[in-house]
């Protein structure tokens, strides 16, 4: 059993550590989380509804937007059927409401109100309020993720992030600062991949944290250059959807597994990868998450629908039945024994859905990056649907493509999607990441 030891806050006493208030609270939460993860789904659901009722009453009383939105709604939410009576609110609804989303009386016991801002990688950023308690719960769930995946806190962490200052720290960072950890090295995700890989070789960490597409690109470059990272134990990915071949490529390059997570700035940790499987467990102690089909009905295992999320502890700016724009596939009960609901995979946003001109509806395309490289020297790619029957394949290559290579790429894309789209192949010097740092393989630019 790997121990996470709190830092002692008492001068001269190192062991046993006299932990500060934050560490004590995190350990107390961890004690509860260790138990609740094994509860049956029915008990977890009942506790969620009881907590939802508390924040629902507070929202109707102190938040102008929810007072108007839920006018005439049920006074007591004691079942999922009662919950489904409440309207769903979109990201745009929340943005347009502005200050009307803020509580006029957040409980003083919840500590100072703090502001967060989403990346805005798929549109305008979403500015939200939280409290010390919402941040503390996110820390507790991050600690759960470390414990689930048996990470050694004394190992070295290398983080290639979309935010934050570059440099070296004597610890892993603010989220784990109440505990004794090894050092960390941090740099920005922007910049040349060869430079990133050289930096990673020099740092030689036990753990690597970065965006999913960046990790895969580094692993592919490592295979090309014959680079191994001898001390690496695990790769952690976040912020983007994993490509279908990402896990295989990372294991082939470095001999380690990926532990993925799914979170949002306005919501905190939504789902963490199961420690025994590649699917995800919803973090039900923090959020009530629904997966709904196009008619608003709950999806069952094997079905894909939009996520509708309710924060259970944010009394500064509650988000209730909030559709964050993401879609996921529901999974069945997990063989690990945890009662936390399962998402088999997170598939992306609506803007990442392909429209079929033959009336076949819409779906999320996925592309194995190695498929392009078998046909042409493609270093990076992105597919954009520019019209209902037309696609642009953007590629980054070291040289100009031949007519035969362009034809082969277009044909491969048509075959992969099962329709003879008109394909334009455009060679670019580079494909920049958007403001938030999240890269998208596919973008639908067709107005719906």
pLDDT tens readout for residues 413-442: 888 888 888 999 999 888 876 665 667 778
Which residue, 180, 68, 138, 191, is CA-closest to 312?
138
Distance from C-alpha of 256 to C-alpha of 318, rounded to nearest angstrom: 39
Which residue, 226, 215, 286, 276, is CA-closest to 248?
215
User: Kind of pairing, strands 268-273 and 167-169?
Assistant: unpaired
Q: Using one digit for the tens of pLDDT, what is the confidence trace for 18-59?
A: 899 999 999 999 999 999 999 999 999 999 999 999 999 999
What's phi and psi for 17, nearest 5 deg?
A: -70, 140
Q: Using one digit for the tens of pLDDT, what is the confidence trace for 338-354?
A: 999 999 999 877 677 77
CA distance readout (Å), 169 to 72, 172, 174, 184, 261: 53, 7, 10, 5, 23
Over residues 281-296, mean pLDDT:
97
HEC states along 121-159?
A: CCCCCCEEEEEHHHHHHHHHHHHHHHHHCCCCCCCCEEE
Over residues 389-417, mean pLDDT:
88
What's the predicted TM-score (pTM) here? Answer: 0.85
Per-residue pLDDT, 14: 84
Per-residue pLDDT, 442: 80
Residue 369 pLDDT grade (very low, low, confident, very high; cuts 50, 70, 90):
low
Ordered DSSP codes for 242-286: PPTTHHHHHHHHHS-EEEEEEEETTTEEEEEE-SSSSSEEE-TTT
Residue 362 pLDDT grade (very low, low, confident, very high; cuts 50, 70, 90):
low
Which residue, 296, 301, 271, 303, is CA-closest to 286?
271
Which superfamily does CATH assign the domain made up of 37-151+233-351 to?
A: ANL, N-terminal domain (3.40.50.12780)
Contact 38, 32 (CB under 8 A): no
What three-state secondary structure class fits 240?
Answer: coil
Instruction: Quote the radius of gyration of the chain (alpha carbons, Å).
Output: 23
Q: Which of these ranges, 15-29, 45-59, 109-123, 238-252, has the smallest mean pLDDT?
A: 109-123
Q: Establish how many alpha carbons lie within 13 A of residue 246's alpha carbon, considering only the half-sphere containing its beta carbon.
A: 24
Tokens of 227: 């680079």
Q: Where in the chain is the domain with CATH 3.40.50.12780?
A: 37-151+233-351
Q: Where in the chain is the domain with CATH 3.30.300?
A: 354-444
Q: Is the pLDDT of residue 355 over 90?
A: no
Per-residue pLDDT, 376: 87
Neighbours of 230 (CB within 10 A): 8
Hey, what CATH class is 354-444 in? alpha beta
Length of the chain: 448
């Amino acid at each position: 059993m790997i121990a996470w030891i709190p830092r002692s806050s008492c001068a001269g006493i190192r062991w046993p550590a006299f932990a500060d208030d934050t560490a004590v609270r995190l350990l107390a939460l961890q004690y509860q989380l260790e138990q609740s993860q094994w509860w049956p789904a029915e008990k977890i659901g009942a506790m969620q509804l009881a907590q939802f009722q508390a924040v629902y009453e507070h929202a109707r009383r102190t938040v102008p937007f929810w007072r108007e939105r839920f006018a005439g709604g049920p006074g007591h939410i004691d079942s999922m059927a009662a919950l489904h009576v409440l309207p769903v609110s979109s990201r745009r609804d929340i943005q347009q409401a502005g200050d009307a989303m803020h509580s006029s009386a957040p409980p003083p016991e919840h500590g100072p109100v703090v502001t967060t801002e989403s990346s805005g990688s798929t549109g305008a950023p979403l500015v939200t309020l939280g409290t010390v308690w919402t941040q503390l719960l996110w820390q507790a769930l991050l600690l759960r993720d470390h414990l689930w995946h048996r990470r050694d806190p004394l190992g070295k962490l290398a983080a290639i992030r979309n935010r934050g200052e570059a440099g070296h720290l004597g610890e892993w960072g603010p989220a784990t600062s109440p505990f004794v950890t090894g050092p960390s090295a941090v740099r920005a995700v922007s910049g040349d991949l060869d430079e990133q890989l050289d930096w990673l070789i020099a740092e030689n960490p036990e753990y690597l944290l970065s965006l999913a597409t960046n990790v895969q690109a580094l692993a592919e470059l490592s295979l090309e250059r014959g680079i191994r990272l001898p001390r690496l134990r695990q790769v952690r990915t976040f912020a983007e959807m994993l490509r279908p071949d990402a896990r295989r490529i990372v294991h082939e390059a470095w001999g380690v597994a990926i532990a993925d997570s799914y979170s949002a700035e306005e919501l905190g940790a939504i789902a963490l990868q199961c420690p025994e499987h590649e699917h995800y467990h919803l973090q039900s102690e923090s959020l009530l998450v629904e997966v709904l089909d196009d008619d608003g009905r709950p999806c069952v295992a094997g079905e894909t629908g939009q996520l509708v999320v309710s924060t259970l502890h944010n009394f500064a700016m509650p988000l209730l039945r909030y559709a964050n724009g993401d879609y996921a596939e529901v999974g069945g009960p997990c063989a690990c024994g945890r009662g936390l609901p399962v998402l088999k995979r997170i598939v992306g946003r609506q803007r990442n859905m392909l429209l079929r001109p033959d009336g076949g509806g819409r779906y999320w395309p996925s592309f194995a990056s190695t498929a392009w490289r078998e046909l042409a020297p493609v270093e990076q790619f992105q597919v954009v649907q520019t019209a209902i029957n037309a696609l642009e394949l953007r590629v980054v290559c070291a040289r100009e493509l031949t007519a035969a290579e362009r034809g082969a790429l277009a044909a491969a894309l048509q075959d992969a999607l099962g329709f003879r789209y008109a394909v334009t192949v455009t060679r670019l010097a580079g494909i920049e990441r958007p403001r938030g740092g999240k890269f998208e393989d596919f973008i639908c630019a067709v107005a719906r």
